[in-house]
Chains A and B, each alone.
Chain A
Amino acid sequence: DTAVSQTPKYLVTQMGNDKSIKCEQNLGHDTMYWYKQDSKKFLKIMFSYNNKELIINETVPNRFSPKSPDKAHLNLHINSLELGDSAVYFCASSLRLGEGAFFGQGTRLTVV
């Protein structure tokens, strides 16, 4: 069983499109996250979601929005995609906010 799974693994899309990445965790964790990793491997947190409380990294454009239908899912919606959004996006979860996280395999987004 995969602890944190995200789909799709690869996503190629045109500028201006709207896309979603799905994430599910079967660990019973309270907290989920979305991270962005650029081509230089730099990891930046985008969102933390814990007990219906959303903590947003203020540097994230408002074109990005997380949606959590329940505690086990945190999906990422991206509107009006731009070339600079190309990156690998990781979903993660932790038992409690602030603890070490389990990461998914990543979604490589390419905007053309």
Chain B
Amino acid sequence: GESVGLHLPTLSVQEGDNSIINCAYSNSASDYFIWYKQESGKGPQFIIDIRSNMDKRQGQRVTVLLNKTVKHLSLQIAATQPGDSAVYFCAENMERGSYIPTFGRGTSLIVHP
């Protein structure tokens, strides 16, 4: 079946560096994508979303890039801070039709002070 996956299960960075978390998706019909952050012992928290009519979207210290040609999504975090340490998930949706959102495996981001 089609699925969403992540290239790296764990990413370690130094405080102040930029982080890039990648996500591959295989459902070409997906047209809406979301990044979530999950801290230990908490529920996932919405970070940023992007629709398929866009290639890039920026938030506060975060940027999401979408490459529909290769079905690839990335989350860039600028000037990574210890508080960014968490598991990051990408999720794909289809805005029309039966809605069953699919989450990727998750990447654990570890920020070293």
Contact = CB atoms under 8 A, between A and B. Distances in A.
Given A101-B46, A104-B43, A105-B42, A41 B34 contact: no
A80 interface: no
Nearest to B106: A41
A98 B103 contact: no
Contacts of B98: 55
Interface stretch (A14-22, A43-51, A62-70): A43-51
Interface string A9-49: 00000000000000000000000000000001111110010
A103 B103 CA distance: 14
Contact of B99 (A90, A98, A100): A98
Interface string B82-113: 00000101000111001111110110000000
B43 A98 contact: no
A106 B41 CA distance: 8
A48 B99 contact: yes
Query: Which residue, of B87, B98, B99, B106, has the highest number of chain A Cβ atoms within 10 A?
Result: B99
A10 to B, nearest CB: 11
B100 A106 contact: no
B93 A98 contact: yes
A99 to B, nearest CB: 8
Contacts of B101: 45, 48, 98
A96 B112 CA distance: 38
Interface in A75-103: 90, 92, 97-103
Contacts of A103: 36, 43-45
Nearest to A40: B105
Given A98-B94, A98-B95, 12 more contacts: A4-B43, A43-B103, A48-B100, A55-B98, A92-B43, A92-B44, A98-B93, A103-B44, A103-B45, A105-B42, A105-B43, A106-B41
Interface of A: 4, 40-45, 48, 55, 57, 90, 92, 97-106
A-B residue pairs, 10 tightest by C-beta: A103-B43, A43-B103, A100-B46, A41-B106, A103-B44, A100-B34, A98-B93, A100-B49, A98-B99, A98-B95
